[in-house]
Amino acid sequence: MLTAPLPHPAEEPPARPTGPGPGGAPSGRGPSGQAEDGTWSSPGRTTAPAGSGGGALPAVQAALAAEHAAVYGYGVVGARAEEDRRAEARQAYDAHRARREVLRRAVRRLGGAPEPAAAAYALPFEVPDGAAAVRLAAELEERVAAVYADLVRAGTGELRRDAAGALREAAVRAVRWRGTGVPFPGLAERSAQASPGPSRDR
């Protein structure tokens, strides 16, 4: 359901909120609803199950994958957002890029190779206008919060503190975009994903 395919975020940043959105045909997707050249990062899907070993590394990699998707998604938000929300979108875009770098360093410290960004991600719904861009921004933050909640549980010391700070920041941004909040950020999103319901494109 991509309406604005964007370049690889790690090489050429997706459309910054200050410029017009790029045009183009929707990205191709496979039968699962994923982009042919990448998957939409869904919190919890890349985290290794309990007891699988690897310590905190799988949770850090999952958070990094979610940040890649958030950076990409905010390119779409910036391209579609109304003028009065573009500065906010740009700040969030920059914040996620910074968090992504922190996670890359954390992966290396843990002896892993950082999860690369995909060339494209299939967004959870179409984003044709400013209202949809605001909904997408809130969705991005809620998904990121859920992944950082996993990392808070898996990490220790500085890693846990960083994850808690990122979770807090994502929760605040989600409230600003959506206009409402939840008592326990990250946990509500995880519960909603675990509940049975109709399948959605990721």
Q: Is residue 127 part of a domain?
A: yes
Which pLDDT does position 97 carry in this prediction? 98
Q: Is residue 162 part of a domain?
A: yes
Domain harbouring 91, CATH code: 1.20.1260.10
Which pLDDT does position 55 carry in this prediction? 81
Q: CB 156: neighbour CB atoms within 10 A? A: 9
Which pLDDT does position 181 carry in this prediction? 56
Q: Is residue 98 part of a domain?
A: yes
Per the structure, the count of domains in the chain is 1
Query: Does residue 9 surpass a pLDDT of 70?
Result: no
Q: Is residue 81 part of a domain?
A: yes
Query: Could you give the CA distance from residue 133 to residue 92 in angstroms, rounded to a whole number?
Result: 13
Q: Is residue 22 part of a domain?
A: no
pLDDT digits (tens, 9 = 90+) for 96-112: 999 999 999 999 999 99
pLDDT digits (tens, 9 = 90+) for 40-61: 434 333 333 333 335 899 999 9
Q: Is residue 23 part of a domain?
A: no
pLDDT digits (tens, 9 = 90+) for 115-155: 999 999 999 999 999 999 999 999 999 999 999 999 999 99
> If you average pLDDT over every residue of the chain, what do you get?
75
Task: Give the structural domain span for 126.
Answer: 57-193
Q: Is 94 helix (H, G, I), strand (E, B) or coil?
A: helix
Which pLDDT does position 123 carry in this prediction? 94
Which pLDDT does position 179 carry in this prediction? 86
Query: Could you give the CA distance from residue 31 to residue 77 in angstroms, rounded to a whole number?
Result: 26
Q: Is residue 69 part of a domain?
A: yes
Token pair of 159 as six digits = 């890693």
Residues 62-78 as b/e (b if ≥16 CB within 10 A, e otherwise) read: bbbbbbbbbbbbbbbbb
Query: Does residue 39 surpass a pLDDT of 50?
Result: no
Determine what percent of the chain is predicted with pLDDT higher than 90: 61
Q: Is residue 13 part of a domain?
A: no
With a threshold of 0.95, does the pTM exceed it? Answer: no
Amino acid at 186: G
- In terms of Cα–Cα distance, which of 141, 35, 121 is closest to 76? 121
